[in-house]
Amino acid sequence: MHTRKGVALAITIVVVGIQAGLSEINRASFPKGFVFGTASAAFQYEGAVKEDGRGPTIWDTFSGIIIDGSNADVAVDQYHRYVEDIQLMKDMGMDAYRFSIAWSRIFPYGTGEINQAGVDHYNNLINALLAKGIEPYVTLYHWDLPQALEDKYIGWLDRRIIKDFALYAETCFEKFGDRVKNWIIFNEPHTFTVQGYYSGYEAPGRCSSLLCKVGNSTTEPYIVAHNVLLSYATVADSYRRNYKEKQNGSIGISLDVKWYEPVTNATENIEATQRAQDFQLGWFLDPLIFGDYPSSMRSRVGNRLPTFTESESALLKGSLDFVGINHYTTYYASENATNSIFDLLNDCVSDANAFAIPFQDGKPIGDKANSIWLYIVPYGMRSVMKYIKEKYGNPLVIITENGMDDPNNLLTPIKDALKDEKRIKYHTDYLTNLLAAIEEDGCNVKGYFVWSLLDNWEWVAGFTSRFGLYFVDYNDNLKRYPKNSVKWFKNFLSSARS
């Protein structure tokens, strides 16, 4: 196999050059006003699923496989412990906290009567953050659709959800927008679209395979994505017309982005790598920047890909104040072999005709974290930032998630689990590449959020995966213990601003 020696050499030069400054990087290295924070999601953190009028969500009822058989009924109990957790952020010197609002705490049935207890909870959380000098960054949808709307009209598959989501979003703007200045309307629509409606691995667990009782992997992901984009456009338009000027806030979206490297210099693999990115980042960012899906999607998906009207396209185009990027890892990409079974499937993965894996000639692309999908490739951060700058006109970017996990090994003593030097190196290396993207490449990045403040319930991985800066003892009243990475971030953030 012909390897990309030129690219590999260039990467080596960049990495070696960056390594020289590793010991010096700190808050003062970054531009004035750059925001550092941690990120979370309501379903993974809050618990209290049957308290204070909260309605059930599709994740409460999801019947798929959770590796350890756990659920998020208690999670890490932040619903009751947010004051304690905010103090942990303050002690580290974090500027901001990204959390999500549970739609079913505001509207237990997705629409209808407002649940005041839910409003009160988030008011208390927001006020407690601000009292400690921590800026709230609020995600409106982090995968926890009210079950009532799934039952009523199959949720995101029906255009009626656009109106119901807009009502929920506008209610949040009205109730919290006087204090919340940064809104992330959706988190990772690509993930919940593909995993929820193509593979069935995540809620609501729809797909064409035997894994699912119902679904259509060839059409449903595209329909869901389309309705999500139209919901975003509707909410963005409402915010700009009715709230932005008086509340002085900004709105955006968080998109999951792997970086892809062509496995060889062959033209077909370079083209496949671009398609892989089109069917990931481009699927959502192209409509929000340019008003339509990537041309590769239009040509390959055909009439299974919905179309935007002229007015919808105009509403989408330029509707972002910032782009949130959740970046963790990098894979190699190549064209699928001809006559592959994948060519016959006509679904949102095979449509791209791009095969992505983290191996080349049997060798991994980087050191592996605990998650099966997470390989540590720091230069991918810089590559993603440069790609967004060059393709999309250098929009304002916030890294809304970045981090790595260790295994939840029940045989490891807590004192040893707190020694997370691998995590420290991960953040050092990724932040160094991010800084190079800002200073050397001119990328417009203003913030970085660590996933995550605490070990938490990680969707299908349950409690088997530990992403936290703080260790949570699931066997002793969910006590929080600072890992070594907490001390590292505290030192990093205590440096004087430039």
188 counts as catalytic: yes
Token pair of 168 as six digits: 């929920």
Crossing angle, helix 189-197 and helix 283-290, to 10 degrees? 140
401 counts as catalytic: yes
Choose, from 46, 188, 202, 261, the residue flagged as catalytic: 188
The answer to whether 106 touches 172, Cβ cutoff 8 Å, is yes
Token pair of 55 as six digits: 């309605």
Q: What are phi and psi of 205, to 5 degrees?
A: 75, 45
Listed in sequence order, the residues at least 6 apart from 11 whose beta carbon sits closer than 8 Å to its beta carbon are: 379
Checking DSSP bridges between strand 367-368 and strand 375-376, what pairing results, if any?
Answer: antiparallel
How many CB atoms lie under 10 A from the CB of residue 135? Answer: 18
The answer to whether 238 touches 169, Cβ cutoff 8 Å, is yes
Vertex 420: Cα angle to 78 and 43 (nearest 5): 25
The answer to whether 45 touches 454, Cβ cutoff 8 Å, is yes
Between CA 193 and CA 230 the distance in angstroms is: 14
Beta bridge partners of 263: none
CA-atom Rg of the chain in angstroms: 22
Between CA 463 and CA 67 the distance in angstroms is: 9
Q: Which of 142, 59, 72 is nearest to 101 (CA)?
A: 142
Token pair of 454 as six digits: 């605490």
CA–CA distances in Å: residue 264 to residues 332, 335, 374, 473 = 9, 10, 22, 45
The answer to whether 160 touches 121, Cβ cutoff 8 Å, is no
Which are the catalytic amino acids?
188, 401
